[in-house]
Amino acid sequence: MNRIFSGMQPTRQLHLGNYLGALRNWVALQDQFESIFCIVDLHALTLPQDPAVLLSNTREVTAAYIAAGIDPDRCIIFNQAAVAAHSELAWILSCHTPMGWLNRMTQFKEKAGKHRENAALGLYAYPVLMAADILVYKATHVPVGEDQKQHLELARDIAGAFNRHYGNDFFPLPEPQILGEATRVMSLRDGSKKMSKSDESDYSRINLTDDADTIALKVRKAKTDPEPLPEAVEELEKRPEADNLVTIYSALAGTSRQDTLGQFAGQQFSAFKGNLVDLAVAKLAPISTEMNRLMSDVGEIDRILRHGADKASAIASANLSDIKDIIGLLRP
Ligand code: AQP
């Protein structure tokens, strides 16, 4: 059986990168796969969080999933902390993961920065918890943005190492699904950095909750270069900011970058940006309106999360019991 698992951290608001790189693909995939979508609040703890904000963000990310089109009646939606099996399997897998593998993880190096010695152990171990998130459901496919590719490869390595060690093929090797035109949306202020929740400048990203005026302002201020739009995709190679805006437009319009260039080649970015604003507002306004509606009834959001956690727990506990039997851990 094919099953997808994926998640997002409830750290600040979701942005266009989260939407185009992951969430929008999940919506399309829910028709083809048994789907489990998590709000990974335990991952959020790898960096300091305000408790009230964390709780509110967990509900807001849930609202974003549903507003973007994830159907809670067909998919399992829950928060990670509500299913203890994630943490339990993370410990088991951490005992099967060489530290050398974790030392290669670029996200840890980027997030820990110069203060590596002060970084939390959880930030270092993050990819093992992510492997546990996926493997506790024996998920076969994991739709993510390009930045998560390395973590996914590690999850496959951990699954393979476990299977080899115990001489079985218990875990499927999860396939990354990196789909669409915008697998890595870049910052609006710097085309060499990915659009990110943690960027200090709010002008670097378009949040799913931004209103039309804010989207227009951010797109108008987005960095570009003085050249008009080129005719061929290859000509965007050394123009990262221009490439990023063309990629965002194409992903939102559901066309290829070449088709977008066919439509706008020769135009200045000032004119193109107007079209991009109209398209972004048309696509995002219904999501933010629906998010606001959902957020006005947090009782209903909590009910959806509880229901999802019950269903997720049933699958995860059964798999964890099998894992304990394989390892030789006595269970009640
Ligand atoms: N810029 C991006 N382009 C395409 N996909 C992206 N994703 C994140 N940024 C981009 C994808 O969104 C999913 C959820 O990501 P996450 O919330 O778990 O954490 P992240 O990857 O660390 O996202 P951020 O926004 O960059 O957060 P911070 O600033 O906290 O690190 C994943 O599938 C991811 O690939």
Given this model, what pLDDT does residue 113 score? 87
| Within a domain: 32 | yes
CA of 10 relative to ligand 1 center, distance in Å: 11
Q: Do 45 and 170 reside in the same domain of the chain?
A: yes
Given this model, what pLDDT does residue 34 score? 97
Q: Do 75 and 162 reside in the same domain of the chain?
A: yes
Query: Nearest to residue 297, comparing CAs of 112, 67, 89?
Result: 67
Query: Nearest to residue 304, comparing CAs of 82, 17, 3?
Result: 82
Ligand 1, atom nearest to 147 Cα: 35
Separation between Cα atoms, residue 151 and residue 147, nearest integer Å: 8
Asked if 4 contacts 33 with a C-beta cutoff of 8 angstroms, the reply is yes
CA of 145 relative to ligand 1 center, distance in Å: 7
Q: Do 135 and 98 reside in the same domain of the chain?
A: yes
CA of 148 relative to ligand 1 center, distance in Å: 8
Is 18 assigned a ligand-binding role in the annotation?
Answer: yes
Is 133 assigned a ligand-binding role in the annotation?
Answer: yes
Separation between Cα atoms, residue 127 and residue 102, nearest integer Å: 8
Separation between Cα atoms, residue 16 and residue 276, nearest integer Å: 13
> Considering the entire predicted model, what is its pTM?
0.96
**Which residues neighbour 315 within 8 Å (Cβ) at sequence distance 6 or greater?**
36, 137
Separation between Cα atoms, residue 131 and residue 143, nearest integer Å: 14
| Within a domain: 101 | yes
| Within a domain: 184 | no
CATH number at residue 151: 3.40.50.620
Given this model, what pLDDT does residue 287 score? 97
Ligand 1, atom nearest to 195 Cα: 1
Separation between Cα atoms, residue 4 and residue 68, nearest integer Å: 17
* Tokens coding 250: 């194409």
Q: Do 18 and 95 reside in the same domain of the chain?
A: yes
Report the domain count for the chain. 2
Q: Do 322 and 281 reside in the same domain of the chain?
A: no
| Within a domain: 266 | yes
Given this model, what pLDDT does residue 250 score? 97
Q: Do 77 and 119 reside in the same domain of the chain?
A: yes
Q: Do 288 and 312 reside in the same domain of the chain?
A: no
Ligand 1, atom nearest to 18 Cα: 12
Residue whose token pair is 């957020």: 295
| Within a domain: 183 | no
Which residues does a 6 A CB cutoff place in the pocket of ligand 1?
8-9, 11, 17-18, 21-22, 144-145, 147-148, 183-185, 194-198
CATH number at residue 280: 1.10.240.10
Q: What b/e string do you get for 92-109 counting C-beta neighbours within 10 Å, with b at 16 or more?
A: bbbebbeeeebeebeebe
Q: Do 244 and 266 reside in the same domain of the chain?
A: yes
Is 146 assigned a ligand-binding role in the annotation?
Answer: yes
From first to last of its 332 residues, what are the pLDDT tens digits of the chain? Answer: 799 999 999 998 899 999 999 999 999 999 999 999 999 999 999 999 999 999 999 999 999 999 999 999 999 999 999 999 999 999 999 999 999 999 999 999 999 988 889 999 999 999 999 999 999 999 999 999 999 999 999 999 999 999 999 999 999 999 999 999 999 999 999 999 999 998 999 999 999 999 999 999 999 999 999 999 999 999 999 999 999 999 999 999 999 999 999 999 999 999 999 999 999 999 999 999 999 999 999 999 999 999 999 999 999 999 999 999 999 999 98
| Within a domain: 233 | yes
Is 148 assigned a ligand-binding role in the annotation?
Answer: no
Residue whose token pair is 């060499």: 192
Is 197 assigned a ligand-binding role in the annotation?
Answer: yes
| Within a domain: 197 | no
Q: Range of 249's domain?
A: 202-293
Q: Do 309 and 223 reside in the same domain of the chain?
A: no
Given this model, what pLDDT does residue 90 score? 98
Sheet holding 175-177, edge to edge: 76-79, 34-39, 3-8, 141-143, 175-177
CA of 278 relative to ligand 1 center, distance in Å: 24
Given this model, what pLDDT does residue 114 score? 83
Q: What values do phi and psi take at 315, rounded to 5?
A: -70, -50
Residue whose token pair is 């909750």: 209
Question: Which residue numbers are catalytic?
Answer: 111, 194, 197
Q: Do 123 and 256 reside in the same domain of the chain?
A: no
**Nearest protein CA to atom 10 of ligand 1, as residue:** 17
Instruction: Report which residue type is found at 320.
Output: L
Q: Do 37 and 95 reside in the same domain of the chain?
A: yes
Given this model, what pLDDT does residue 232 score? 95
| Within a domain: 186 | no
Q: Do 279 and 321 reside in the same domain of the chain?
A: no
Query: Which pairs count as long-range contacts for 228-233, CB under 8 Å and 24+ apart, including other chains?
Result: 228/265, 228/266, 228/267, 228/268, 228/269, 229/261, 229/264, 229/265, 229/266, 229/267, 229/268, 229/269, 229/272, 230/261, 230/265, 231/261, 231/262, 231/265, 231/266, 232/258, 232/261, 233/257, 233/258, 233/261
- Site to substitute for ligand 1 among 196, 205, 206, 243, most atoms within 8 A of C-beta: 196
